[in-house]
Amino acid sequence: MLKVHAVGLNRVDLYMRDSGIGITHSLPLVQGVEAAGVVAHAPAGSGLRVGQKAVLYSNAFCGHCRYCRAGDQPLCVNTDIMGEHRHGALAEYVAMPSSCFMPLPDDADLVSAGALMVGHLTAWRMLFGKARPLQAGETVMIVGIGGGVAAACLELAQLAGARAIVTSSSDDKLERARGLGAEAGINYRTEKVSERVMELTGGEGVDMMVDSVGQASWGDSLRSLRRGGRLLTCGATTGSQPGADLQRMFIRQLEVYGSTGGSVEEFRRVVSLFGRGRLKPVIDRVVPLAQYQAAFDRLGNGEQFGKVVVSVA
């Protein structure tokens, strides 16, 4: 059991609050799909120690389906995610299987750790786990900078030595992203995205595209890829039925991958980098639990840059 200190909020929390669309769940349900805190109870043989800092792997995977046996827990057919299928972390304590606890160093910042699982793990799998991994010197484009996953992609891309181009409707967010190392920012409300990308890449297009926006950006995303480029999709905030542009896909031999979450092993790598001070999630703001409604509103209005974190302790 974890004594919760910090809970990162995510778009899925808004879906769960509003309708739980597409997710089998029963009410009442405590929300909160990611958390860090301190081990409050450690079963014998778990290898955990009471009082130790830890971050949770949010998916209480079954461990015996074909996907779990292959180490691909995000595809678990009996998936049981906290805040979606079981009680989540917006509480003083949350119970999860001991296999979901990732110990942290004693000096770890729990607010940052509580914002690590969804953003950085999702980003990690997209950049390095699904398609050919992003390489040093390659260019990745991140659609809709501002959200937690996009901000994590920007950080991880730089860690890999890749160049990042970002898009947003907000000049402020583009400016912040440039301050965090993005090579260029494109305002999709005022600029023609794919034309601008071609200018920035010598007419070739980008090597990799990360698009969690979906319907509104899909066409531009396909047109901005180089031949043989790879597109990763992990969300559809503007709709899930874009024009497919199949001709472009097969003639230019584009690779399209769906991705969600990440495996236990991938999260271990993320946590290890975090524990060594190599990762620092961008925190938009920290809100006390009593004001969680304001935190949800900020996320719902798309005002945030990076993670909105609810402080429980």
Residue ranges that bind Zn ion, judged by CB under 5 A: 61-62, 65, 68, 76
Output b/e per residue, 265-285; b: 16+ Cβ within 10 A. ebbebbbebbbeeebebbbbe
Task: State in angstroms the smallest separation of the CB of 13 from Zn ion.
Answer: 24
Strand order in the sheet with 139-142: 184-187, 163-168, 139-142, 206-211, 225-233, 255-258
Q: Which is nearer to Zn ion, 50 or 77 (CB)?
A: 77
Q: Which is nearer to Zn ion, 57 or 61 (CB)?
A: 61
Task: State in angstroms the smallest separation of the CB of 129 from Zn ion.
Answer: 18
Find where tokens 């999860």 sit.
Answer: 96
Rg (CA), the chain: 19
Half-sphere exposure of 61 (CA within 13 A, CB side): 23
CA dihedral 243, 247, 142, 263 (to 10 degrees): 90
Closest by Cα among 288, 259, 298 to 131: 259
Q: Which is nearer to Zn ion, 72 or 220 (CB)?
A: 72
- At 108, the amino acid letter reads A
Does residue 74 have a cis bond before it (omega within 30 degrees)?
A: no
Task: State in angstroms the smallest separation of the CB of 82 from Zn ion.
Answer: 16
